[in-house]
Amino acid sequence: MASIDAVLQKIDDNQPAALQRLFALLEIPSISTDAAYAPQCARAAAWLAAELTGLGFEASVRETAGRPMVVGRAKASHRDAPHVLFYGHYDVQPVDPLSLWNTDPFKPEIQDGRRIVGRGASDDKGQLMTFVEACRAFRETGGLPCDVTVLFEGEEETGSPSLPDFIAANRDELRADLALVCDTGMWDAETPSITTMLRGLVLEEIVVRAADRDLHSGAYGGAAVNPIHVVSRIVADLHDADGRVTLPGFYDGVDELPAAVAEQWRALPFDEGDFLRGVGLSVPAGERGRSVLEKIWARPTCDVNGITGGYAGVGSKTVLPAVASAKVSFRLVGRQDPAKVAAAFRAFVRARLPADCAVEFIPHGASPALQLPFSSEALTRARRALHAEWGREPVMGGSGGSIPIVGTFKQDLKMDSLMIGFALDDDRVHSPNEKYEVTSFHKGARSWARVLDALAK
């Protein structure tokens, strides 16, 4: 096995050719949502399988009911190496409105010597190729330090409909010691980040029915129960004056941050005012006494995502409606149990249901929070590796939203995921003129080389 310095030097030497390879992938319009581009998705999958085969992987394109998967497997140069599963996706978002692009989205180019511009440059072709280039450098300098399985999918932008079944059907092939997921971003252009926590999600819709028809509010108002009032009361009761969620037992399994992480977050150059001003707000809402980063990364929440009842048109209508509804979501952290949260919510609603009202519960999904333990050895090694590459301690960040593949890996393959990515907030993913920094691409590959090296030691 070559020294890491030799591998990094190889990555530097390969950089011009690596960009050419990335461009070849970016030129394939592998838009997954539009069936007209299915052949292009197949082309991208075949291109990746060929790349991996060229690197000594045992690689194949695997058909699904939708867009194909690519699976590749390569052994480390020595026995008893750890086994990692790397995940990325080759499909991209549509490009419309095309008129807002300054260049052809599928004719990638480097602008100002520093930005790779094109659809998929950042999300996720550029990111997944950082890992491929790291593997290449190892192969060209003596061999991989880890057993590596690669899984590239082609339906991430359409909700990964084929993925759960594919993973369930290929558990033995895909199971590894650790998953590496490259679909996240850096803290800023100079500071790497490891996403260590993803909030879970419980989605519950309630439909409250009262009278068997809409009533005239003149004829019945004051004597007939109004389901809009019932739903509003339930929503209002879900938070106390301190912004805490009032469901009994809701905070069971919610831990305080380790002191070191809390300290790191406090020290981050994060301006709460700037964050909020970006969307037209100025004052943090929510749980009293918590920072904004805590609130969006490490604290559970409840938000009503939709409410309906009665007349929604222009003007007024003196109706006392028969039905009102709300779509409620809970973001979970730590060890909160989605089933217990859903049950507590349903009990909470039933306890507030007046006579003559019936409630229907419509579940729209439940998943637990995911947490890479702060004490995990893999995390410690990855932190050290990224620090060596970037000269800065990586941010142990959270993500308020969910990354479904990470949950699937955890639940179905019993694997933790190390989420490292090199995208920047201004990469315009999903938007016209998507770009990826040349630095992200280059130092991303170097970062993966260091991480693989660190995991193997």
- In the region spanning residues 72 to 101, those forming contacts with its own copies, defined by CB under 8 A, are none
Q: Rule CB under 8 A: choose which of 6, 46, 203, 388 binds its own copies.
A: 203
Of 102 and 316, which CB lies nearer to its own copies in the complex structure?
A: 316
Site residue total, its own copies (CB under 8 A): 78
For residue 62, the 8-state DSSP code is E
**Segment contacting its own copies (CB under 8 A): 41-49, 77-85, 102-110, 214-222?**
214-222
Instruction: List, in order, residues 6 or more apart from 211 with CB less than 8 Å away.
Output: 220, 224, 225, 320, 322, 356
Residue type, 258: P
- Alpha carbon separation from 194 to 17, 420, 440 (Å, rounded): 28, 5, 15
Let me know if 17 is exposed, middle or buried by CB neighbors in 10 A (0-12, 13-18, 19+).
exposed
Provide the minimum distance between the beta carbon of 208 and its own copies in the complex, in angstroms, as a whole number.
12
Query: What would you measure as the largest C-alpha separation in the chain, in angstroms?
Result: 86
- Its sign, for the CA torsion 105, 106, 111, 114, is positive
Provide the minimum distance between the beta carbon of 118 and its own copies in the complex, in angstroms, as a whole number.
25
- Alpha carbon separation from 306 to 235, 237, 267, 309, 420 (Å, rounded): 11, 16, 36, 10, 33
Q: Rule CB under 8 A: choose which of 94, 143, 164, 284 binds its own copies.
A: 284
- Tell me: cis bond preceding 97? Omega within 30 of 0 counts: yes
State yes or no: residue 249 binds its own copies (CB under 8 A): no
Of 97 and 222, which CB lies nearer to its own copies in the complex structure?
A: 222
Provide the minimum distance between the beta carbon of 268 and its own copies in the complex, in angstroms, as a whole number.
15
Asked whether the beta carbons of 132 and 68 are under 8 A apart, the reply is no
Provide the minimum distance between the beta carbon of 164 and its own copies in the complex, in angstroms, as a whole number.
18
Q: Rule CB under 8 A: choose which of 159, 249, 273, 354 binds its own copies.
A: 354
Q: Site mask, its own copies, residues 35-74, x = CB under 8 A?
A: ----------------------------------------
Of 104 and 205, which CB lies nearer to its own copies in the complex structure?
A: 205
Residue type, 222: G
Provide the minimum distance between the beta carbon of 358 and its own copies in the complex, in angstroms, as a whole number.
10
Strand pairing category for 109-111 and 417-420: unpaired
Provide the minimum distance between the beta carbon of 94 and its own copies in the complex, in angstroms, as a whole number.
19
Q: Site mask, its own copies, residues 218-247, x = CB under 8 A?
A: xxxxxxxxx-xx-xxx-xxxxx--------
**Segment contacting its own copies (CB under 8 A): 69-77, 98-106, 157-165, 196-204?**
196-204
For residue 92, the 8-state DSSP code is B
**Segment contacting its own copies (CB under 8 A): 153-161, 202-210, 343-351, 414-422?**
202-210
Question: Which two three-digit tokens encode residue 57?
Answer: 């992987």
Q: Rule CB under 8 A: choose which of 54, 248, 258, 365 binds its own copies.
A: 365
Provide the minimum distance between the beta carbon of 368 and its own copies in the complex, in angstroms, as a whole number.
15
CA separation for the pair 358, 361 (Å, rounded) = 10
CA separation for the pair 67, 88 (Å, rounded) = 14
- In the region spanning residues 287 to 346, those forming contacts with its own copies, defined by CB under 8 A, are 287, 292, 295-296, 299-301, 303-312, 315-321, 324, 326-327, 329, 331
Q: Rule CB under 8 A: choose which of 67, 199, 435, 450 binds its own copies.
A: 199
Inter-axis angle of helices 38-54 and 4-26, nearest 10: 160
Q: What is the CA radius of gyration of the chain?
A: 25
Provide the minimum distance between the beta carbon of 299 and its own copies in the complex, in angstroms, as a whole number.
6
Strand pairing category for 109-111 and 115-117: antiparallel
